[in-house]
């Protein structure tokens, strides 16, 4: 099995903060960044220094607060943005900049009104300028996923010549299929002079619900860095959820043959902190970090789980720092899980008593969706009361 390692670039504090309604202050950004460092993230995008004085301060404070990850600021391909990024990060332990300029025909025509030649000259100049200050320069052709492949190759060659360290290809509008996205990286690898000098990076959005699948397809095509956010927050439908990518690589390690340097047991805590600070609720059925990700309700599943966890769980909750597996009692639950729950609550009954209580429990599930421990205790205490009369 190959021992290739994929680097994780977290943009919760930049693309994630672009989620409608989310606004993180300096202290919140620092707290999240410190947790991302604990999680083992290698690159943290702390914000967009040129966008506001507050964000510049947040980028500066994150750059000073964390010591292992590279901290980058986003910057348009213009000197004034690169200067703002450097001003914010010159005191950082590991400073970097992430420069972008759109390249797709739609963006060239409607947004930028620029020719291909103008774009090539601007990206080359911006990367060259940034290299005067920053040891780490990443370039992204925005809407790279909808850019003509031959033009994307030209852009790649120009930024590589100018000294870029990372070339990220964003599927900015979450439009591509996994196969199409992976093929872009295969094409770049076989058509761009000097491609081996840069790290290739994937950045996917979730407009069609394919951000994680696309990111994994890019890994199969050989990228060395993946970008995304915690809980998948971000513009519109969000970004690739890094916890999903990490757990796909860990759970299917023999298939992907790729390592990460993440501390997987920090995933749940990171998810909770991001949810609390951003005010973005994590749905119960969210993969890996949702409250129901390790909960089982139906009798058949619960019976399987009581016999062996591998029957219905492909990863263990403790691996990602989630509380234990939960067998949730509801109308689909069976006698086996019901008895097990009563034992956990400290009750021991014979088969006949269990049969009677189970019948009353099923009646209750027709009236009440969620059965809490207190409901079971009342049910049992009523029964004990009946017996005593």
Contact set with ligand KIV (CB under 6 A): 15, 74, 100, 140, 142, 170, 172, 203, 205
Give the shortest CB-172-to-ligand KIV separation in angstroms: 3
Q: Under 8 Å CB-to-CB from 265, ≥6 apart: which residues?
A: 318, 319, 320, 321
* Helix, strand, coil content of the chain in percent (nearest 5): 50, 15, 35
Task: Based on the shown chain and the rule CB under 5 A, indicate whether residue 138 belongs to the binding site for Zn ion.
Answer: no
C-beta separation of 202 from 181 below 8 A: yes
Distance of closest approach, residue 172 Cβ to Zn ion, in angstroms = 6
- For 7, residues 6+ apart whose C-beta sits below 8 A from its C-beta are 42, 43, 199, 224, 225, 226, 261
Q: By CB under 5 A, which span of 12-20, 129-137, 158-166, 327-335 interacts with Zn ion? A: 12-20
Closest to ligand KIV by CB, 171 or 244: 171
Q: Rounded distance, CA 97 to CA 308, Å?
A: 48
CB of 171 to Zn ion, least distance (A): 9
In the chain the first and final C-alpha atoms are separated, in Å, by 68
Stretch that binds Zn ion, among 11-19, 191-199, 286-294, 332-340 (CB under 5 A): 11-19
Among ligand KIV, Zn ion, none, residue 17 binds (CB under 5-8 Å by kind): none
Does the annotation list 203 as a binding residue? yes
* Binding site partner of 142, from ligand KIV, Zn ion, none, Cβ cut-off 5-8 A by kind: ligand KIV
Q: How far is the CB of 116 from ligand KIV (least distance, A)?
A: 18
Does residue number 142 form part of the binding site for Zn ion (CB under 5 A)? no
Q: Which one of residues 15, 55, 206, 244 is an interface residue with Zn ion (CB under 5 A)?
A: 15
The answer to whether 158 touches 123, Cβ cutoff 8 Å, is: yes
- Smallest distance from ligand KIV to CB 106, Å: 13
Residue 96 or 334 with smaller CB distance to ligand KIV: 96
Q: What is the DSSP letter of 110?
A: I
Alpha helices for 101-161 (secondary structure H): 105-106, 116-131, 149-161
Outline where DSSP puts E strands in the chain: 4-5, 7-10, 43-47, 70-76, 95-102, 137-142, 166-171, 199-204, 225-228, 258-259, 295-296, 326-327
Q: Which is nearer to Zn ion, 28 or 206 (CB)?
A: 206
**Residue 176 vs residues 171, 180, 183, 248, 257: alpha-carbon distances, Å:** 7, 6, 10, 20, 24
Size of the site for Zn ion (CB under 5 A): 1
Smallest distance, ligand KIV to C-beta of residue 13, A: 12
Complex with Zn ion: residue 274 or 376, whichever CB lies closer: 274
What, of Zn ion, ligand KIV, none, does residue 100 touch, CB below 5 to 8 Å by kind? ligand KIV
Instruction: Tell me: is residue 292 an annotated ligand-binding position.
Output: no
> Whose Cβ is closer to ligand KIV: residue 20's or residue 385's?
20
Is 15 labelled a binding residue? yes
Cβ contact 191:153 at 8 Å = yes
Distance CA 245, CA 116 (A): 34
Instruction: Enumerate binding residues for Zn ion (CB under 5 A).
Output: 15
Which segments are annotated as binding site for Mn(2+)? Answer: 15, 203, 205, 239
């Amino acid at each position: 099995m190959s021992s290739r390692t994929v680097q994780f670039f977290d943009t919760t504090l930049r693309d994630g903060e672009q989620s409608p309604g989310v606004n993180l202050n300096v202290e919140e950004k620092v707290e999240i960044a410190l947790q991302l460092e604990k999680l083992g993230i290698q690159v943290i995008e702390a914000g967009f220094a040129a966008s506001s004085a507050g964000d510049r301060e947040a980028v500066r404070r994150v750059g000073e607060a964390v010591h292992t990850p590279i901290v980058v600021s986003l910057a348009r391909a213009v000197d004034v943005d690169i200067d703002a990024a450097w001003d914010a990060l010159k005191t950082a332990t590991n400073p970097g900049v992430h420069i972008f300029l759109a390249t797709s025909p739609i963006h060239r025509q409607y947004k930028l009104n620029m020719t291909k030649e103008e774009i090539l000259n601007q990206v080359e100049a911006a990367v060259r300028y940034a290299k005067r200050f920053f040891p780490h320069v990443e370039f992204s052709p925005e809407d790279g996923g909808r850019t003509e492949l031959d033009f994307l190759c030209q852009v790649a060659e120009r930024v590589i010549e100018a000294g870029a360290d990372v070339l990220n290809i964003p599927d900015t509008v979450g439009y591509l299929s996994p196969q199409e996205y992976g093929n872009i990286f295969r094409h770049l690898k076989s058509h761009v002079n000097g491609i081996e000098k840069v790290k290739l990076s994937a950045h996917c959005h979730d407009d069609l619900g394919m951000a994680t699948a696309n990111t994994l397809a890019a890994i199969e095509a050989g990228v060395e860095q993946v970008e995304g956010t915690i809980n998948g927050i971000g513009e519109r439908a969000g970004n690739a959820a890094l916890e999903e990518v990490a757990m796909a690589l860990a759970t299917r390690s023999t298939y992907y043959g790729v390592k990460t340097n993440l501390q997987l047991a920090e995933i749940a805590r990171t998810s909770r902190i991001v949810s609390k600070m951003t005010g973005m609720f994590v749905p119960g059925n969210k993969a890996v970090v949702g409250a129901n990700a390790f909960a089982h309700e139906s009798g058949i599943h619960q019976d399987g789980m009581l016999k062996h966890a591998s029957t219905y769980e492909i990863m263990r909750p403790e691996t990602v720092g989630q509380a234990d597996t939960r067998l949730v009692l509801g109308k689909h639950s069976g006698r086996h899980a019901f008895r097990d729950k009563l034992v956990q609550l400290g009750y021991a009954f014979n088969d006949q008593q269990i049969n009677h209580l189970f019948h009353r429990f099923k009646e209750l599930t027709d009236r009440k969706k969620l059965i809490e421990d207190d409901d079971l205790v009342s049910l049992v205490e009523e029964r004990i009361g009946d017996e005593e009369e």
